[in-house]
Amino acid sequence: MFRRPARFLNDGVPDFERDAALDGISLLGTIKSGLLVDVVHKATVIGEVAADIRAYVRQVVADRVGPHSTLSAAIVDAVLIGDRSGLPDDIRSRLQVAGTYHVVAISGGNIAILAAMMIVAFVPFGIAGRPAAALTLIGLVAYALVVTSSPSVWRATVVAVVYLVARLFDHRTAPWQACALAGGLLTVGEPLDVRNAGFLLTFGATAALLMAVGRVTIRGDNGMGIKRRPWAAWLGASIGASAAVEIVLLPVMAETFSRVTAAGLVLNIVAVPAMATVQIAGLLVVLAPAASLGTAAGWIAHLAAMAILDSARLVDVAPWLAIRVPPPSASIVSMYYAGLAVALWSATRLTRIVGLVALVACGMVIVTGSAARQDIGNLRLTMFDVGQGDSLMLQVRESNLSGAREGDTGPRTLMVDTGGSPFGGSFDIGSRVLEPALWARGVSAIDTLLLTHGDPDHIGGALPLIDDFNPRRLWEGVPVPRARSLQSVLARASVSGAVIDQRRDGEEFRFGDARVFVLHPPRPDWERQRVRNDDSVVVEIVYRDVALLLTGDIGADVERAIVPRLVPAKIRVLKVAHHGSRTSTSRELLEAWRPQIALISCGRGNPFGHPAPDVIARLDAIGARIYRTDRDGEVTVDTDGTNVRVTTFNGEQR
């Protein structure tokens, strides 16, 4: 089965389909078994040979490194041939948070090590100078054709090719010029790649390292005649180079990944040499698999791979070394780089100091900044596009009459569910979709998180929100002690200091200037063994003449039970239950309450056929205006208590 890469149509959320296309991926495919595949046409000769070599590398690594650890074997595969499919999602996430994921992605460092190894290998055969450059050039291009192709591989290869071609013609060029020429060639050959974050990261890191090389010298003394040990000089130079990369890429990392990490300053001292060891030992494993050398090399590769993995645990011990931040504004990014340029290249000391002050100030804004607040009026309900899941945010103005703290004019924020995949999955909907969407809405903290029930498509994004938005309260419905995912969310909330309350049928309270009526569930009289849709928390929010009914995944029976208690407000907005399943949104509910606006959260091309045609027909029959995340994207309902305005991501306003 083939499908397009996912898109989530929310303000502030990257276009993942476009980003995949920039990496050369237009479709994603899945098969149940390789036995179902018929080869109708082979690849080119080069493609077939490359595939055979990759298969050989995987097999040898599995034989020589796999017995020590499957994770070590996965690291070696990633470093040698760019195959990261064996890395579990939690390991990927840990390396990304630690700032050392780059060592398992083939890039400039790997190409440089391979080139150096080839040049050294030619020495015993008396090959040097131009012949060595020519053979190394051929070897690097062949390597790029064999490994799992990615833009980072070809960027590094093009830089190396430019340098080696210059050597063939006996040109001595500065590294800056080689990088500039390589960047120009890549821009001409793949102009859209300039918009890829990897392009900025590659050339930004290279520029930082070149600046560090020009300003940091590995000396045997400290400039005052006091001798220093070589390892101390190397350590200082390594930290300086790593710091230069972090400084240059700080806004790029914050904008692209919404994360700032200082752990890389320390961890790269371990991770980069360990990566070099993995690559060298891994190549020996591949070239001498049957000899005792291959056995020893496999053990060394395992130790180096474990050094990469274990060093990343630093962020578990000191999580403050890696923090999530909202993307900085374009003005802050511009001032940051202007300050950096002035600090580095200004002709006078005073202007260099001014540039350094601007750099530090903008850096602090990026690291400690919060999302810019938006004026929401009186009440706003946002239904986020989270695919085949549910996630809504209620923001309500809180006046002093309703108990607001003096000087606190911001809205109260209630997050209702956090999306996720219906069957679970590795995609982090919380950090990759909801957090950017919340920041784009000017939200930096959540007052209350309501989990209507424990299905994965309703709680899948909860953990990142708890970590990064610190809800003060968490509301749940019927407890399900054996639901592991739900219990892990509750445990994380408890550790973070959130107060956990159970909402019950019949409760009524104020949230900001709105009234909240809990219509379901009643107190359970038996312990649930699994999560049930009909145990969903159902709330009705009433603000003056407007009522919002949020129904979770309840079915028709529960809908019929709550109908007599619904508030007959002048304007009624229904969040359609269970993504538009035919077993919900009953005729009894619609004819009794007659909502004018219906909101449906469902995924594009979902396998369940949601929303069901019967549900759409019933909504059309009562004249309700229907908004769907699969077509409209993010849907926003604003009201002053008398009038309602609906705005969608695609630009519709009514």
| Nearest one of 25, 41, 258 to 150, comparing CA atoms | 25
Predicted confidence at residue 49, as pLDDT, reads: 93
pLDDT of residue 213: 65
187: helix, coil or strand? Answer: helix
**pLDDT value at position 215?**
59
The pLDDT of residue 22 is: 78
What's the pLDDT score for residue 226? 53
d(C-alpha 332, C-alpha 261), whole Å:
19
Q: Which residues of the chain have pLDDT under 50?
A: 218-221, 223, 401-408
Task: Give the architecture (CATH level 2) of 379-648.
Answer: 4-Layer Sandwich (3.60)
3-state secondary structure of 260: strand
Closest among 134, 111, 113 to 122, alpha carbons compared:
134
Q: How high is the pLDDT of residue 366?
A: 92
Q: How far is CA 256 from CA 198, 207, 259, in A?
A: 10, 18, 8
For tokens 């995924």, name the residue.
603
Residues β-bridged to residue 418: none
φ, ψ dihedrals at 532, nearest 5°:
-125, 140
- Please calculate the CA angle 364-369-375 and round it to the nearest 5 degrees: 150
Q: What global pTM score does this model have?
A: 0.84
Q: Where in the chain is the domain with CATH 3.60.15.10?
A: 379-648
- Cα–Cα distances in Å, from 270 out to 223, 238, 310? 27, 10, 10
Residue 188, CA distances (Å) to 192, 378, 406, 428 in order: 9, 51, 58, 35
User: What angle, 0 to 180 degrees and rounded to 10, lies between the N-to-C axes of helices 330-345 and 230-257?
Assistant: 150
Q: How far apart are alpha carbons 419 and 410 in whole angstroms? A: 25
Structure tokens at 174: 């500065």
